[in-house]
Amino acid sequence: MHIAIIGTGYVGLVAGTCFADSGNDVTCVDIDARKIAQLQRGEVPIYEPGLEELIRKNTRDRRLSFTTDLAAAVAPAQVVFIAVGTPEGESGEADLQYVLAAAEQVGRAMRHYTVVVDKSTVPVGTADKVRETISRVTQVEFDVVSNPEFLKEGAAMDDFFKPDRVVIGAESERARKIMGQLYAPFVRTENPILYMDTRSAELTKYAANAMLATRISFMNDMAALCEKVGADVDFVRKGMGADKRIGYPFLFPGVGYGGSCFPKDVKALVAKGRELGMELDLLRAVERTNERQKRLLVNKALKHFGSLDGRTFAVWGLAFKPKTDDMREAPSIEVIEGLLAKGAKVVAHDPVAERTARRVFGDRIRYTPVPYEALEGADGLFVVTEWNEFRHPDFERMKALMKSPVILDGRNIYDPSRMQEMGFAYMGLGRRQ
């Protein structure tokens, strides 16, 4: 099939590359000429394992191309994916201006029957608005489909090639058939394609992310309760996860969730409820728990040191999760801003997110390419992102480098008893010290 992808952000790039790798002719479009030139050279503006190699392969084989010319990309396309940003509005709602602007341009450029797919995360009713927008500018026949993405940053390629499920919201059998053909190579192991109406598909994305965010915030509340009663959240987590109705995924306490999806989608769902006269109290509590959690490590440091003024702290991990350089809503931002506000100095290390961090913090903090360099003369270490290379460090070397052997473990990756045996003052989340 000929496919056009409007938007070369995280979702657009991954989807376009994977569709091209399954034999389709894909053109990715963006208004940012600098980014398009970068992609044409085989340089990828985001970090995602395996993506750069696959972009170069499919560009070389002429199945994947990049352009700023939307009309030229849309004219031959059978399917057009809208994968532009939906930033958070003033009240938490998703801002649809870019989606609707792209829809209008797509409508003007269509020359034959086209399936227009909302791939961006959009609130309920967006497909109707996209349909109305396109209908105003063209007489060409088309269908609008909602096809939300369920990609985990750091594992997006596997998620696309081997999805748990594909959700397709379509109102016509013709559109359903085309989308089924497009996704057939990715569901050969019998993982389901779930066909539904567009509004149900739109809500499915928000509901899934809100449920996962709720699990994280619930466990963070349990961790706080464990500290109050003298229990250990790791035992509690294992006891809960063994229940097949619950399971283990997303039951790990930490310094809060971040990224491009959970924070924005929870806010958008709360805003949608409020727009309809409903208060989604559970999700409002999820948000409050998450914001509290991001401040927790700095509060623990204040309790331990008394004052942070003039002290130097190492921070391991800047991205919101491992295997990505994404720092949108990352807990590290709240942690570092909290330390700086208390007069502390920060030396940070992340395997891939330093470039992103420099755009956030500039020269207000110091960066090191090696994690141990951040520890030299440090009063304490904050572990904020659970990169694999942080899990089994040389603790004796760490203790020798640090001014005071204090570890504030925001991901509970170290064993408290071992840390104490080795002479560290260790503070985890909900762990029996």
Ligand-binding site membership of 30 (annotated): yes
Ligand-binding site membership of 380 (annotated): no
State how far Cα 219 lies from the chain centre: 19
CB neighbours (10 Å) of residue 275?
11
Ligand-binding site membership of 403 (annotated): no
Ligand-binding site membership of 250 (annotated): yes
Length of the chain in terms of residues written: 433
Ligand-binding site membership of 276 (annotated): no
Residue 214 and residue 283 in contact, taking contact as beta carbons nearer than 8 Å: yes
Ligand-binding site membership of 86 (annotated): yes
Ligand-binding site membership of 45 (annotated): no
DSSP class per residue in 32-68: -HHHHHHHHTT--SS--TTHHHHHHHHHHTTSEEEES
Ligand-binding site membership of 321 (annotated): yes
Q: What is the DSSP letter of 375?
A: G
CA distance 377 to 421: 22
Ligand-binding site membership of 251 (annotated): yes
Ligand-binding site membership of 150 (annotated): yes
Residue 331 and residue 256 in contact, taking contact as beta carbons nearer than 8 Å: yes
Ligand-binding site membership of 375 (annotated): no
CA distance 370 to 89: 38
Three-class SS of residue 22? coil
DSSP class per residue in 173-234: HHHHHHHHHHHGGG-TT-PPEEEE-HHHHHHHHHHHHHHHHHHHHHHHHHHHHHHHHT--HH
- Take residue 236 and report the two structure tokens written for it: 């509690």
261 is catalytic: yes
Ligand-binding site membership of 356 (annotated): no
Residue 290 and residue 220 in contact, taking contact as beta carbons nearer than 8 Å: yes
Ligand-binding site membership of 153 (annotated): yes
Ligand-binding site membership of 267 (annotated): no
Catalytic residue (one of 18, 28, 226, 261): 261
With a CB cutoff of 8 Å and minimum separation 6, the contacts of 374 are 314, 315, 316, 347, 348, 349, 368, 381
Ligand-binding site membership of 228 (annotated): no
- Take residue 126 and report the two structure tokens written for it: 């967006």
Ligand-binding site membership of 264 (annotated): yes
- The β-bridge relationship of strands 366-367 and 380-383 is unpaired
Closest Cα partner for 261 from 310, 212, 297?
212
Active site residues: 261
Q: Which residues are annotated as a binding site for substrate?
A: 150-153, 205, 250-254, 258, 321
Q: Which residues are annotated as a binding site for NAD(+)?
A: 30, 35, 86, 121, 153, 264, 328
Q: Which residues are annotated as a binding site?
A: 30, 35, 86, 121, 150-153, 205, 250-254, 258, 264, 321, 328
